[in-house]
Amino acid sequence: MVKKIHRLIIASVFGLIALSVIQGYLIRNTYILEKESFINKANKTISRIDDYTPAVDSINEVWQTLFVKTLDSYNAKFIKKEDVLQRLRKITDSLNDSFVAEYNRELATKKLNYDLKFHKIIKNIVLYDSIHHDTIFKENKELPYRLLGDAFDHNGEHQISNSLWHTDRSGTITVNGVERPIGYELNFETQDYINIEGWQRIILNNMSLLLLLSIVIFAFVIALLYYSIKSLITQKKIADIKTDFVNNITHELKTPLATLSLATKILKNEPVVVNAVSVEATVNTIERQNKRLQNLIDQVLNNSLGYKEIQLKKERVPLQDYLHTIFDDFLIAVNEKEVHVDRRIQLTNEVVLIDKFFFTTALYNILENAIKYANKDVEITLIASCEKSFKIVIEDNGIGISQENQALVFDKFFREGNKEVHNVKGLGLGLYYTRQIIMAHDGTIKVTSIKGKGSRFEIDIPIN
Ligand code: ADP
């Protein structure tokens, strides 16, 4: 059973790990999909502005016309290569403010709930003629050459498209009265980028319900597993305790039953039956064993009562006398010489309202255990006081109770599973019953103990 529980725990842990990996994978995929769809939407918005805004179109036309003229001058060798990009910069700088303004005006009509920025960068500018090709600009990842649009950080950007502007030029141009031929093909590659402020947060916000549900379901599964395993362990403990009880009671019943059977055999024996002394002795044995059996049954029946079933008949009890009497009687019942009791009774004339019969039973159970579970010389310390409440502490120097079992000793049928305890007779009902009696008095009982050194039981009874 223990192995089964271990296997179940290991399987559950693996199951949970697998579940979290799958869950993590699904969440990651959802995140990627959400990101793609989010960027696609932004992309569509930008494309629509690009395609359907006449003002943006005409700005594009203006810079392209001006730039082609610059290239014509370059191709006809009126200007140098370095001047081409400088002129392009001048042209686009002069147009960029109106370009951005047009874009933003259009963006405002789309009523987006995030801040969308856009720009075009130049990837390549290459001129081809019949003999060779001439690279005017080559993309540089570190320092992208912004053509038009907003300035934004390279880190948070997303590329949304690539475009190629191709045009053929041929003919002549005249500059300052000088006419020269031109002839080239232009390949002008650009890339469009967008930047959305806090896009991760926006995507996570969109996924918040999914994330929340995942966490809740995950927590629910863990709680369910924890609860199932815990109740399985409890069930196992209860099953063990019941088996122990059956073993204990069978053991207790064996001796009187064997004696009774022997006595019956003796009484069937003729020479014994005629001998009055033998008959009397045997009948006495039968009586004693019968009483023992009766006691055992009473113990099981009475000591199994719950605190609600205990009917108290409370009376005013002068504490000092009461406690001394209990200890005197107890010392007479056990062999006084073997037991040393240190009484620290800090009481004068205090009187409390308790059921003397039940309360005595409760104290006796603790005192008897101090003898049952003793090491060699029994030392019992009794501390009693009555201020705000009536407090009794009974300490012994016995075998002690392990830390993990201290909370269990008040459970019905619980006995520690070690060898020392199994050598001592018992049904595991004494402390259970003691606690029920104390609870019926609205009090509390607790135990602290050090294995091998002794145990300390503390009873606290309210006096109002
Ligand atoms: P029983 O004595 O019949 O087994 P109890 O309910 O009185 O039943 O005690 C429950 C268990 O608690 C005992 O079996 C023993 O393991 C442990 N125990 C109780 N009192 C002491 C004690 N004073 N010292 C050590 N162990 C104790």
Mutation pick for ligand 1 pocket among 295, 305, 415 (CB with most ligand atoms within 8 Å): 415
Our answer on whether the CB atom of 63 is closer than 6 Å to any ligand 1 atom is no
Please state the rounded mean pLDDT for residues 188-194: 93
Q: Whose CA is nearest to atom 14 of ligand 1?
A: 415
Please state the rounded mean pLDDT for residues 199-214: 91
Q: Where is average pLDDT lowest: 62-66, 152-156, 346-350?
A: 152-156
pTM of the model: 0.59
pLDDT at 165: 95
Encode pLDDT of 396-411 as tens digits. 999 999 999 999 999 9
Centre of ligand 1 to C-alpha 369, Å, is: 6
Q: Is 445 helix (H, G, I), strand (E, B) or coil?
A: strand
Number of Cβ atoms within 10 Å of the Cβ of 169: 16
**Radius of gyration of the chain measured on its C-alpha atoms:** 48
CA neighbor of 458 nearest in space, from 410, 412, 417, 413: 410
Centre of ligand 1 to C-alpha 415, Å, is: 6
Number of Cβ atoms within 10 Å of the Cβ of 207: 16
SS3 content of the chain, % helix, strand, coil (to 5): 55, 25, 20
Nearest-angstrom CA–CA distance, 13 and 396: 43
Looking only at the bridges linking them, the beta strands covering 339-346 and 378-386 are: parallel
Output the 3-class SS for 249-301: HHHHHHHHHHHHHHHHHHHHCHHHHCCHHHHHHHHHHHHHHHHHHHHHHHHHH
Query: Looking at the predicted structure, is the pLDDT value of residue 442 above 90?
Result: yes
Nearest-angstrom CA–CA distance, 414 and 120: 80
Encode pLDDT of 93-145 as tens digits. 999 999 999 999 998 998 888 889 999 999 999 999 877 888 888 887 666 78
Assess contact for 218 and 19: CB atoms under 8 A. Answer: yes
CA neighbor of 70 nearest in space, from 52, 83, 57: 83
Assess contact for 127 and 134: CB atoms under 8 A. Answer: yes
Q: Copy the structure tokens of residue 203.
A: 């995507």
* DSSP 8-state symbol, 121: E
Nearest-angstrom CA–CA distance, 299 and 412: 13
Query: Looking at the predicted structure, is the pLDDT value of residue 50 above 70?
Result: yes
Tell me what the pLDDT averaged over the chain comes to.
89
Nearest-angstrom CA–CA distance, 83 and 96: 20
Encode pLDDT of 232-242 as tens digits. 988 888 888 88
Q: Is 129 helix (H, G, I), strand (E, B) or coil?
A: coil
Q: Which atom of ligand 1 is nearest to the CA of 433?
A: 6
Please state the rounded mean pLDDT for residues 236-262: 86
Residue 429: phi, psi to the nearest 5? Answer: -110, -20
